[in-house]
Structure 1
Amino acid sequence: MGYAERVLLRNLSFLVPSASFVAVIGHNGSGKSTFLKALTNQIPYQGQILVQGQPLPAKSQALARSLSYLPQKNNVAFPIVVRELVVMGLFRQKKLLENYTAADYGKADAVLTHLQIQHLAQRTFTELSGGEQQLVWLAQLMLQNTPLLLLDEPTQSLDVYHKKKVFDLMALWAMQEQKTVLCVTHDLLNLMNMTGYLLNLSQPNPTLEVISPENVLAHQRFLEEKEWHAPSQA
């Protein structure tokens, strides 16, 4: 799994229990974002990915029902009302030129209320703070209501308050909403009180390990002390 001739991940195999939180960690360049791009069919890969026991769909509409994805960077270059941006989370589930319905907007309103950001619904997205913008993206992700959620550095550049809020939300998705959440993160300290698993892609043979304060600190030391090298191309 990688780009052109460059392999970033080799012989990666693991089984995620349903309704789990998984923190995907590792050095910069170890393949964390590449792994999520493979899951979303953005890059070619060898092997098989199963979601709920079924091969990952190739068609975009079928894939949209299986998983939702929040990349590291989402750029909005034009003014748009928050409610309109959130409802666009249903875009991939729509047919070409199909309009959003009153029921779609009702679902968007329900998600905004659930996240306690309904007061932002009529605000212009580009005028919000970074933390507020990230909560709006999370609302859009949540609206898609898929069994698998992929998040790439969702707390990057957020303050302490909003970081905790995002991790609390991901814990809620896994424990109460029965979702499986894969989150790429460098924010190991906020993992200390999470329930779920760690997957360290900087290790020679990455495996799922139960999150505990001891494991988190051990992986933190590993990442601080070990230099990462790409897998052999042989």
Structure 2
Amino acid sequence: MNTNLELSKVSITLNGKQIVHSVNLKAVSGDVIFITGDNGSGKSTLLKAIARYLPVSAGDIFFNARHFEEMPLPEWHRNVHFLPQHNTLAFPVEVKELLIMAFFRQKKWYEAYTPHQWLAVKGMAERFGITHLLNRNAKELSGGELQLCWLVQSFLAAPPVLLLDEPTQYLDAKNRTRFFSILHEMQAVEPFICICVTHDLPFKKEDYGQVLNLSN
């Protein structure tokens, strides 16, 4: 199914200060949009508003032509997945158990995860080069290792819209390159909308997606 996401004149005001002013954006499955801009230009704020973790003060957001206020939050979050810039773990968990949680919305609470889902975990872990971490305690990982786990989980969830806030911040050069390559490859196989806040654009950014500069 082809997905459409549209922002029409979206503005965001926090504590009496306008952070984002009248942003327009249209995206369909297969689009990758990199949001850039100076510090304080509202990049993360805009992403959180699309995810509906912050209120929109003016303008409209549409998902498949449905106004965001007409969609209950649980339905919105089934379709729009947000990976924040900073993630923490509240309790110890093995990496493989953290990754399989990508499928928790696809089953009833008492059902076990399927062999197919476990194979998907293994396959995506191999693509990101983290199979050696699968039996590790996720709370003991480095910042870069844990970030790779969150990215694997996000890709396994396969949402129609994936929002990523500085996904490569904790990654070394090798894994930054790996991330952009996998994102590009996955869009060719099973297209989705990816909106990514980043300062770390590939050299040939036009090969990877569009750029929305909030400083302009």
TM-score of the aligned structures, taking structure 2 as reference length? 0.82
1:177 pairs, out of 187, 190, 198, with 190
* 1:84 aligned partner: 97
Q: Supply the distance in 2 between the matched residues of 1:8 and 1:93 (Cα, whole angstroms).
A: 36
Q: Which amino acid aligns with 2:33?
A: V
Contact 1:2–1:34 (CA under 8 A) maintained in structure 2: no
Deviation at 1:47, TM superposition (A): 1.8
Deviation at 1:126, TM superposition (A): 2.3
Deviation at 1:118, TM superposition (A): 3.5
Q: Supply the distance in 2 between the matched residues of 1:188 and 1:182 (Cα, whole angstroms).
A: 13
* 1:21 aligned partner: 32
SS at match of 1:65: helix
2:133 pairs, out of 120, 131, 140, with 120
* 1:186 aligned partner: 199
Q: Supply the distance in 2 between the matched residues of 1:60 and 1:83 (Cα, whole angstroms).
A: 28
Q: Which amino acid aligns with 1:88?
A: M
Q: Supply the distance in 1 between the matched residues of 2:206 and 2:200 (Cα, whole angstroms).
A: 12
Deviation at 1:102, TM superposition (A): 2.5
Deviation at 1:128, TM superposition (A): 2.7
Q: Supply the distance in 2 between the matched residues of 1:49 and 1:108 (Cα, whole angstroms).
A: 35
Deviation at 1:187, TM superposition (A): 1.0
Q: Supply the distance in 2 between the matched residues of 1:99 and 1:34 (Cα, whole angstroms).
A: 36
Higher Cα radius of gyration: 1
Mapping 1:179-218, distance limit 5 Å: 179-190=192-203, 192=205, 194-203=207-216
* 1:102 aligned partner: 113
Structure 1 segments unaligned to the other structure (5+ residues)? 204-234
Q: Supply the distance in 2 between the matched residues of 1:192 and 1:40 (Cα, whole angstroms).
A: 24
Structure 2 segments unaligned to the other structure (5+ residues)? 1-11
Deviation at 1:154, TM superposition (A): 0.4
* 2:121 aligned partner: 111
SS at match of 1:151: strand
Q: Which amino acid aligns with 1:159?
A: D
* Percent identical residues: 37
In the TM superposition, what whole-angstrom CA distance separates every residue of 1:1-47 from its partner, at most 9, and x where no partner exists? 13131111111112123311111000111000011110111111122
Change (3 A) 1:27 1:100: farther
SS at match of 1:47: strand
Deviation at 1:174, TM superposition (A): 2.3
Corresponding position: 1:166 with 2:192: no
* 1:9 aligned partner: 20
Number of matched pairs: 200
Higher strand share: 2
Mapping 1:29-178, distance limit 5 Å: 29-45=40-56, 46-56=58-68, 58-91=71-104, 98-99=109-110, 101-103=112-114, 106-116=116-126, 117-178=130-191
Q: Supply the distance in 1 between the matched residues of 2:120 and 2:38 (Cα, whole angstroms).
A: 38
TM-score of the aligned structures, taking structure 1 as reference length? 0.76
